[in-house]
A and B are shown apart, each in its own frame.
Chain A
Amino acid sequence: MTQTRSRFLTVMLTLGLAFFYIPILLLVIYSFNNSKLVPVWGGWSTRWYQELFQSEEVWEAVLLSLQIAVVNATFATLLGTLAGLAMVRFGGFRGRTLFGGMLVAPLVMPEVITGLSLLVFFISLSELIGWPSQRGFTTITIAHITFSMAFVAVTVQARLTGMGQTLEEAAADLGAKPFKVLTAITIPRLTPALISGWLLAFTLSLDDLVIASFVTGPGSTTLPILIFSRIRLGLRPDINAMATIMIIAISICVAIAAILIFRQQQAELRDQQMAFKEEG
């Protein structure tokens, strides 16, 4: 009985994993396809990679997306952290519940609505005060910050709640003024949450198609917009190549993160052993 059940589970697991990873594998293989038609195999080749690297349009889109992502992640982390601090460390200020609700609303708001409302907002603003005179980098970045800071705020809030207030009280007790407590204790303790919040905001921005399509303007094509517009005219092998490069880049990042986490665990284990020896 146990035997059959475990076999059943193994099969289901295999199928599940296959469902996730075979498409990605196919995409990678077809990026090395020599044929111009994606579904037709024409032998191995790296010509689409060469074409990709020579395309100025692609490079511009990559650069724009990265710029937006970095600026967005930085501002979102800053604002999200402030919002998280206000929620957890400022006690029951007036309007706290409303603030908390408004803070997480972007998490559940359909992207289409967010994008549309921001577009309307930018247009009316430009008519009223003449800014933004045209849509592009600035408007996309602002739009991204508005929704990704909610993710950072939630991450920071969870970490702040989890780490408690004792260390901050201890610092205040030792004479540290509130700002000093923030810089010497709270921020260093928050660092893991800040890093993951930043990365989350970075990824969200890099990934966003819907909101960016609403608030972008002529000449500002982000990478997802570019991919989507090219795919509309049919599958293209150079897009496969670009996707493959992105997969490799992400894999490298994940591997580095895994190594760092592993090293940290090793260090913690060493500390524990050292402490245990002292108990002796």
Chain B
Amino acid sequence: MAAIDAFSDTPWLDPAGQKPLVQIKGLTKSFGAFTAIDNIDLDIYQGELFCLLGGSGCGKSTLLRMLAGFETPNGGEILIDGVDMAHVPAYERPTNMMFQSYALFPHMTVEKNIAFGLQQDGVGKSEIKDRVHDILTLVELQDYKKRKPQQLSGGQRQRVALARALVKQPKLLLLDEPLAALDKKLRKQTQFELANIQEQVGVTFIVVTHDQEEAMTLSTRMAVMDAGRFKQIGTPTEIYEFPDSRFVADFIGSANIFEGRVVEDSADHILVTTEACDVFIDHGQSVKIDSRIWVGLRPEKIRIEKSEAAASGPNQISGIVDDVGYLGETSIYKVKLESGQIVDVAAPNQMRPSSNSDRITWDDKVLLSWEPSNAMLLSS
């Protein structure tokens, strides 16, 4: 197995014996009394597209700026390709950054903006010309090289910024909210473009974002951050399907959360009793019996059907539809339980509401149910 790992395209999935490209150990940064980064550890591997996801002020940008060399840590260390970065100034680091505001030099043309980094390295004139040309082809801006940044649209500026950061072929590319300044439609399209470009050039990307959809689409792995710490690190699927805390379950997507107590813990399942219902979970997680726990349920993983029948057995709840939100592709049903708690359920609209005679609507009595593998166990 270890021999195969050495050639793995995805070392982050089985890190044993792999050498990380970026090693962060016990990193701490505070501004006066405010701790922006609180003793964090992280390994990032060659070829990853790693997303740092969190709300504003969670420390994600500070972490990125420390990697780039713009901020000095108060403690801990950063190693890139095995080299300690403590005394390496920003201009000598093997990293390049794409800024949120793009930071294109307004007094230089697109071509000169991109060539700037290569000139600093003393690359020869003809090679600069070739590499600028190649990278402009990659981002499809060949015809715009004589333009000034202020003569370009937002999307074009974004691509110039990406090209400028990529042209030096850094070991690590840092992207600070790369898509935040684009409008929604362009953002979706660019998400995939960005992932494609990353795959083509093979450079390791670290992307800071506050947009969970962006993080889910782009990343090989992501870290959810809050108050200067990592709440959870994993692949998008892991984070979405198996969040380990209420914070993550609530931050990524939405979740209905029930507080309960573990009453059965055996090898193949556990049973949690909550105020609303009993929850039977069979995905192999183990929790000490009698401990207090939270159970999360994603709205789209709950079945909803019209039924007068009361709930019978675990993984079932009955309730009354309190509100319906029509979103086009799906509808959100807000179901009020006997306990008064509101549960969100999302169901695809496979038929037009007007032609669906037994569609669920306001004040209908409904029965909610879910598969034993669908509930998520959450710590506080």
Contacts and interface: CB of A to CB of B under 8 A. Distances in A.
Do A and B actually bind? yes
A176 B154 CA distance: 26
Interface string B113-126: 00011001100000
Contact of A271 (B69, B92, B148): B148
Contacts of B150: 268, 271-272, 275
B68 interface: yes
A170 B120 CA distance: 13
Nearest to A166: B103
Contacts of A185: 105
Contact of A175 (B107, B117, B147): B117
Interface stretch (B3-11, B93-101, B301-309, B321-329): B93-101
Contacts of A274: 147, 151
B120 A176 contact: yes
A88 to B, nearest CB: 16
Contacts of B96: 173-174
Contacts of B99: 166, 169-170
B105 A167 contact: yes
B260 to A, nearest CB: 49
Interface string B279-297: 0000000000000000000
B152 A174 contact: no
Interface string A187-203: 01100000000000000
B124 to A, nearest CB: 15
A175 B91 contact: yes
Interface string A265-280: 0001001101110111
B29 interface: no
Interface string A149-179: 0000000000000000011011111111110
Interface in B42-99: 68-70, 89-92, 95-97, 99
Nearest to B97: A173
B164 interface: yes
Given A171-B105, A172-B91, A180-B120, A275 B152 contact: yes
Given A169-B90, A279-B153, A175 B105 contact: no
Contacts of A276: 153
B116 A278 contact: no
B328 to A, nearest CB: 26
B151 A166 contact: no
Interface residues of A, number: 26
B154 A173 contact: no
Interface in A177-231: 177-178, 180, 184-185, 188-189
Contacts of A177: 91, 120
B90 A278 contact: no
Q: Report which residue of B68, B96, B97, B120 has the largest number of chain A beta carbons within 10 angstroms of its beta carbon.
A: B120
B274 interface: no
A169 B103 contact: yes
A175 B153 contact: no
A180 B120 CA distance: 9
A271 B148 CA distance: 8
Interface string B136-149: 00000000000110
A166 B148 CA distance: 18
Contacts of A180: 120
Contacts of B109: none
Contacts of B254: none
Contacts of A279: 153-155
Contacts of A280: 153
B104 to A, nearest CB: 8
Nearest to A167: B103
B88 to A, nearest CB: 12
Contact of B101 (A166, A176, A184): A166
Nearest to A170: B103
A274 to B, nearest CB: 4
A180 B117 CA distance: 12
A175 B151 contact: no
B154 A174 contact: no
A198 to B, nearest CB: 19
B23 interface: no
A182 to B, nearest CB: 13
A150 to B, nearest CB: 28
Interface string A241-280: 0000000000000000000000000001001101110111
B171 interface: no
Contacts of A189: 106-107
A143 to B, nearest CB: 36
Contacts of A174: 91, 96, 116-117, 120, 164, 168
B90 A172 contact: yes
B140 to A, nearest CB: 13
Interface in B5-38: none
30 contacts: A166-B101, A166-B103, A167-B105, A169-B90, A172-B91, A173-B90, A173-B91, A173-B95, A173-B96, A174-B116, A174-B117, A175-B92, A175-B120, A175-B121, A176-B120, A177-B91, A177-B120, A178-B91, A184-B116, A185-B105, A188-B107, A189-B107, A268-B150, A271-B150, A271-B151, A276-B153, A278-B151, A278-B152, A278-B156, A279-B153
Given A174-B168, A278-B152, 20 more contacts: A166-B103, A169-B68, A169-B97, A170-B97, A172-B91, A173-B90, A173-B96, A173-B97, A174-B164, A175-B91, A175-B92, A175-B120, A175-B168, A176-B91, A177-B120, A189-B106, A268-B150, A271-B150, A271-B151, A275-B152
Interface of A: 166-167, 169-178, 180, 184-185, 188-189, 268, 271-272, 274-276, 278-280
CB-CB nearest 6 A-B residue pairs: A174-B117, A175-B120, A278-B153, A170-B103, A274-B151, A279-B153
